Amino acid sequence: MNSGGKWVDPAPFEGARPRVPWWVLVPGKAKWLAALVALVWAVVIGGVRLVLVVVRYPVATLVPASAAWCWWHFGLSPLVLALLSLVAALLLWFGYDRASFLRWCWFRLVTEWRRATVYVPRWRSVMRLADLAKRERWREYRPRLRRVRSEGWRDRVRVRMIPAQSPDAWELRRDGLAHSFGARSCRVRVLRPRVLELDFVHADPLVRPVPVPALGSAELDLKRVVVGRTETGKPWRLRLLGSQLLVVGVPGAGKGSVLWSLVWQLAPAVRAGLVRLIGIDPKGGMELGQCPDAFDRLVFSNGADAVELLEEIAAEVKERASRYRGIRRLWARDTGEPLTVLVVDELADVIAYQPDRQLRERAARAVQTIASQGRAPGYVLVGLVQDPRKEVVGFRHLFTTRVALRLDEPQQVDMVLGDGVRQRGAAAHEIAEDTPGVAWVKQDGQREPDRARAFHVTDNDLAVLRDYFRPAEVRPFPTTPGGAEEVAA
C-alpha cells in the first residue's frame, strides 16, 4: 500500500520460517562419503567389542557358538559325542593339574556365571540406590561395569567412575555394596585415574595355618624375607634391610608367629654371621627365651639392663653411621659387619610403662635414634606391641613397615596403620579370633595394604630351631682302648 509516497505492508507475515536440517544443504556426494565413514567406524568398533567379549568371556561365547556350528554341520549325535569328550578331557585335566584347571577353566566359568547372574542384573539399581549414579538434565551418568574376574574366594570387579567422582565415595559405601552383591566384604582399590577395582570377598583364603618351610632351604634376600603367605597365595615378603618393623596385636593375635617366622628364615644367615640378633624381652624371657641361642645378646627385663643395651646399640648406630658417611648409603654384605636386628618383644613396656621416668626417657631417646638413623648402617628395629596407646603410636612414623594383627577397635587400626588405610579395606579389628597370625601389612611407599598370614611356628619347630643353634659339642677323640665304649655309652 502506498500512503503519501511511503510503502506500508498491509498484512505483515508473522509465521515462523520453516527450518531445514543442516544436512539437507550438504552436497549429496559428501553425504555418501560421511555415511561410508560412519559405517566403517561402526563395523570396526563392533568388531573390537566382539573380540574383547570373546577374549574376556571365552566359555560363554565360544562354547555355544562351536556347539551351534557343530550341530548345524554334523547333526546332533556328533555334538553329544563332542560334548562328552570335552567333559572327559576336563575331568582328566582336573585330575592331573588341579591348580591350572581351577585357574584357567573353573574360575572362568564362575566369572561368567557371576557376571551374568549377579553383577549385570543388579548393577544399575545398586548404583542408583547407593547414590553412585547421577542425573544431570536429561542424561544419567552411571559408573560403568568393566571386567569381572572371579578367583573363588573373591570377585575382582573393575569399574569406571563417572566424572567428578572420587574413590572416597566408593570407600564410604563398601558395606552397602558388599551386601547388595551378596559378598562378606568389599574393598576398594584405585588402579589408575577413573578406574577402580572392587574386591567382593566371599571366603577367607587364610583360614588354614601356613606351615613353615624347611629350615635354611630358602635363598635369603634381606629385602624380601618370606614370613608367610598373602591372601592371593603369594609369599608374604617383609623388607628387613633398610626398614624398621612394627608388629601390633592383642594377646593371642600371633605376634610370636611373625617374630619366629622371621627368626626361622634368618637362622642360616645368623649362623653364618651375616645377621646378628639382639633381643629385649620384658616379660622375663617368656617369648625370646624359647630359643635364646639364636640371639647374640638377650636381656629379660625392661629395667636398667634393657636401657643400657638400647643406649649401647644407639651409640653403635651413630658410630657406624659416621664411618659409612660419604662412602655408602646402605649397609651391604661387603662391609664385613653383620646386619643387626634388634627385637623388642613388648616395646611399650620399655618406652611407655617403665615406672622410672629417667629410664623411660633414656629408653625412648635410644629407640628413637636406632629407628631413625639405623637404616643406612644396617640396624633394624623389630618392635612388638600389644596395646597401641598414644605413647607408642608417637613412634609409629619411625617404622617403615607396620603389621596390624587382630586388634580390638577400629581406632587402633588407624593408630597402627595410619589414616585412611582402614577405609581401603585393612579391617584388622575384624580379623577372626580363630585365625591367629593373620595380619594387615602396610609398607611405606605402597598405597594398598596387604592381608597375609605368618607361618605357624609350632613348639616342635621351635625345638628344631633350638637344635639348629645349639653350640656343637666337642668330644675328645678316644685314645684309650676303653675310650670308644665310654663315648658310645
Q: How far apart are the first and last CA of the chain?
A: 145
Q: How far is the CB of 90 from ligand ATP (least distance, A)?
A: 35
Query: 257 with 436: CB under 8 angstroms?
Result: yes
Residue 443's DSSP bridge partners are 401
Which is nearer to ligand ATP, 174 or 453 (by Cβ)? 453
Residue 253 annotated as binding site: yes
Which is nearer to ligand ATP, 112 or 231 (by Cβ)? 231
Which is nearer to ligand ATP, 196 or 298 (by Cβ)? 298
Which is nearer to ligand ATP, 249 or 425 (by Cβ)? 249
Within 8 A by CB and 6+ apart from 274, the residues are 333, 338, 339
* Helix, strand, coil percent content, the chain, rounded in steps of 5: 45, 20, 35
Query: 147 with 56: CB under 8 angstroms?
Result: yes
CA distance 188 to 324: 43
Residue 283 annotated as binding site: no
The owner of cell 654371621 is: 273
- Helices marked H in 292-356: 304-324, 347-351
Q: What is the CA radius of gyration of the chain?
A: 34
Q: How far is the CB of 397 from ligand ATP (least distance, A)?
A: 23
Task: List interacting residues with ligand ATP (CB under 6 A).
Answer: 209, 249, 251-257, 287, 386, 436-437, 453-454, 456
Which is nearer to ligand ATP, 249 or 279 (by Cβ)? 249
Residue 355 annotated as binding site: no
Within 8 A by CB and 6+ apart from 284, the residues are 300, 301
Q: How far is the CB of 102 from ligand ATP (least distance, A)?
A: 24
Residue 242 annotated as binding site: no
Which is nearer to ligand ATP, 228 or 449 (by Cβ)? 228
The CA-atom distances, in angstroms, between 317 and each of 241, 313, 456 are: 14, 6, 33
Which is nearer to ligand ATP, 225 or 314 (by Cβ)? 225
Q: How far is the CB of 363 from ligand ATP (least distance, A)?
A: 20
Residue type, 448: E
Residue 190's DSSP bridge partners are 196
List of E strands, 260-330 = 275-280, 297-299
**Pairing state of beta strands 6-7 and 144-150?**
unpaired
The CA-atom distances, in angstroms, between 197 and each of 84, 160, 231, 324, 354 are: 38, 9, 16, 44, 46
Residue 420 annotated as binding site: no
Which is nearer to ligand ATP, 187 or 453 (by Cβ)? 453
Which grid cell sits at 10? Answer: 498491509
Give the nearest residue (CB) to ligand ATP: 437
Which is nearer to ligand ATP, 126 or 407 (by Cβ)? 407
Q: How far is the CB of 431 from ligand ATP (least distance, A)?
A: 12
CA distance 225 to 240: 7
The owner of cell 551374568 is: 116
Q: How far is the CB of 488 from ligand ATP (least distance, A)?
A: 39
Residue 5 annotated as binding site: no
Which is nearer to ligand ATP, 112 or 461 (by Cβ)? 461
Q: How far is the CB of 372 from ligand ATP (least distance, A)?
A: 26
Q: How far is the CB of 455 from ligand ATP (least distance, A)?
A: 6
**Which residues in 252-268 are b (16+ Cβ under 10 Å) and which e?**
ebbbbbbbbbbbbbbbb
Q: How far is the CB of 430 from ligand ATP (least distance, A)?
A: 17
Which grid cell sits at 369? Answer: 635414634
Residue type, 396: R
Q: How far is the CB of 436 from ligand ATP (least distance, A)?
A: 3
Residue 46 annotated as binding site: no
Residue 390 annotated as binding site: no
234: helix, strand or coil = coil
CA distance 287 to 291: 8
Task: Mark the binding-site residues for ATP, compressed into ranges.
Answer: 249-256
